Structure 1
Amino acid sequence: MLPMPIADHDAISKELAESGRYVKVLWQSADTLMFVARGREYRSEFHINPSDEHMTMLKGSMNLHYRTPEGKEEIAVLKEGETVYTAAGIPHSPRFPEDAFLLVGERMRRPGETDSFQWFCPNCDAQIHEEFFVVHDYTKDPVSQAYANFFDSIEARTCDACGTVHPGRDFG
């Protein structure tokens, strides 16, 4: 029988804040992933996860941007101590300050499943870029690699529909 891990949320939040890292994986098994995330002020992409997610706001509050099936962007506010369920396939963008912390639980990816990250034009709302990743090990922080691929490319940040250049890290 495996030990039952106990996580000290205060200690983990302090560790993330002091280290400058954004994610601390609490455990990762064949079926389950649990991690604490520190806020990223500049987050502008929408993540599409092939599995359901459960998020609990440990400290602070979060604006959870999401896109409806019709493509409209909406915002759900998650306050400290509140929990939200996000079904697989819903484009969502958790936006919260760097001094706020979120507990996330989800299913590990099955063979062949991909996560995607989408960016939309701040002027006309057309999709301007999408990154796909096969996530085998969440400790590798695939979100940071998706950001680098987008932020470091003017071509990726330029809207084909209206010509607007997404401001990248200065968004928001």
Structure 2
Amino acid sequence: MEELPVVDLESVTRELAESGRRVKVLWQKPDSLAFVARGREYRSEFHVNDSDEFTYMIKGTMHLHYRTPEGEEKVCVIPEGSTNWMPGNTPHSPRFPPDAFALITERGRREGEVDRFQWYCPKCDELLHEESAVVDDYTKDFVTQAYKNFFGNEAHRTCKKCGNVMPKPEGF
């Protein structure tokens, strides 16, 4: 049996803040994944994955945008020191500033499971683009790669319904 992990969350948040990195994976096992995320001010996509998720806001406040089964966008506000549970396959977009930190736990991905990253038109709410990936190793940071693919292609950011072009955030 492995040693049982004990994680000093204050040290992890300090490490992320000082290094500029966005995610620190604490453990990654077949039935359990835990990581600390630092906010991404540019986050706009909705992530869809099969696992339930548990979020604890270590520092700051998260505005967790999510889409109902009917496609309506709603926002769940998670203040510092609070938790949230979200069922699997809920399109969600965790939005919080770079000086805020969240602990997220979920089930490890099962073989063949596909994560999806969806962007919607800010003008008419039409689906703009979807990226998908088999997330076999969370340390590979598929979110960053999905963003590069989306923002690096103007056709992905152009709404086929209303013609609106989603602007690139700074840094892309």
Same fold, judged at TM 0.5 (above): yes
Question: What residue is the counterpart of 1:89 in the other structure?
Answer: 89
Structure 1 runs of 4+ aligned residues shifted over 3 Å read none
1:122-158 deviation digits (Å, cap 9, x = unpaired): 1000000000010000001000000000010000000
Aligned to 2:58: 58
Task: String of CA shifts for 1:82-114, please: whole Å, max 9, x gaps.
Answer: 110111110000000000000000011111100
Could you say which residue in structure 2 is the equivalent of 1:22?
A: 22
Q: SS of the residue aligned with 1:119? A: strand
**Would you say the 8 A contact 2:30–2:110 is kept in 1?**
no
Structure 2's unaligned 5+ residue stretches are none
Show the counterpart of 1:107. Answer: 107
* Map of 1:48 onto structure 2: 48
Cα separation, 2, equivalents of 1:145 and 1:63: 22
Shift of 1:168: 2.8
2:73 aligned residue: 73
Number of the residue aligned with 1:168? 168
1:58 Cα deviation after fit: 0.4
Stretch of structure 1 that moved more, 25-34 or 150-159: 25-34
Write the distance in 2 (CA, Å) between the matches of 1:110 and 1:167: 35
Counterpart secondary structure, 1:70: coil
Alignment TM-score, normalising by the size of structure 1: 0.97
- Counterparts of 1:29 and 1:41, CA distance in 2: 29
Tell me which amino acid in the other structure corresponds to 2:85. Y
RMSD of equivalent CA atoms? 0.7
TM-score, normalised via structure 2 length: 0.97
Percent identity (aligned): 59
Unaligned runs of 5+ in 1: none
CA-CA distance at 1:75 after TM superposition: 0.4
Q: Give the aligned residue type for 1:123.
A: K
Cα displacement (A) at 1:49: 1.2
Secondary structure class of the residue paired with 2:94: strand
Distance 1:111 1:79 in 2: 34
Q: What CA distance in whole angstroms lies between the structure 2 residues aligned with 1:4 and 1:124?
A: 49
Q: How many corresponding residue pairs? A: 170
